[in-house]
Amino acid sequence: MANFEIKIKMTAQDVATLKEQGYSLYAFKAVRASGKGSPTVWFNYEPQKLLTVTNINWVEKYQGYNSTSQIIENGTIQSSNDVSADLGDKVSIDSNGNLSVTSDAAPASISFLNEAHQQFTIGISQEVSGKFEKLCAFPILGSGAGRIIEPITKVLLMFSTKVINTGTVITQAFSPGAFIDLTGVDSREVNYNVNDGWSANGATWLKNIPAFTDISSYLIEKSAVAVE
């Protein structure tokens, strides 16, 4: 099981400023899939958890979920059911909306098969800080429709005074963010300054995302494999 880390370095004065003004750290994680989906807030660190060296750690442990929540901006997705799933597993939704898992699906992805005669919202969750939190939300039709979702190692971080629950659908950046690519590595180190923003000594794996940017195009990558 791979372990990943992002280390955020700040001055003591910047940490004090963020805490005084009530800034929390929010994180999103990217996936690759066909069709239209939306990112959800993966996790947040409240102001009191911020340090001059703030470490974010997560592992490759996943769940699949289904939900009757609508995918709307600022709406929170509430699970109807959750089930542990590894990459290469298929999550099937039966006629009663319950979930089961088999290991007969596309590698590096989690596949969904909806055998119920109703539509659901589905997606995957990933463990961070010992808790599974949603990465994304996709619609799935009934009567045998399928979808394949592949988690990828790209993370978007941003600070905000907004109070937003994990699992909330967000498609527009609410503050400047750092889009961090961990492809091929298990750790990154970035800097944050309240006036100068995010940086990593000019590294190309960090992209600064201005406030009000449509973050869906960064967090929902289009897959060449179309399953609907």
208: Cβ contacts below 8 Å, ≥ 6 apart: 176, 177, 178, 179, 197, 198
36 burial via Cβ count (<10 Å: 0-12, 13-18, 19+): exposed
- Taking only Cα atoms into account, the Rg of the chain, rounded to an integer number of angstroms, comes to 18
Q: Report the predicted TM-score, pTM, of the whole model to 2 decimal places.
A: 0.95
User: In this predicted model, what pLDDT tens digit does every residue of 158-200 receive, in sequence order?
Assistant: 999 999 999 999 999 999 999 999 999 999 999 999 999 999 9
Record the tokens describing residue 15, joined without a space.
């940490």
* Cα 146 from Cα 111, distance rounded (Å): 7
| pLDDT confidence bin for 226, thresholds 50/70/90 | low
| pLDDT confidence bin for 129, thresholds 50/70/90 | confident
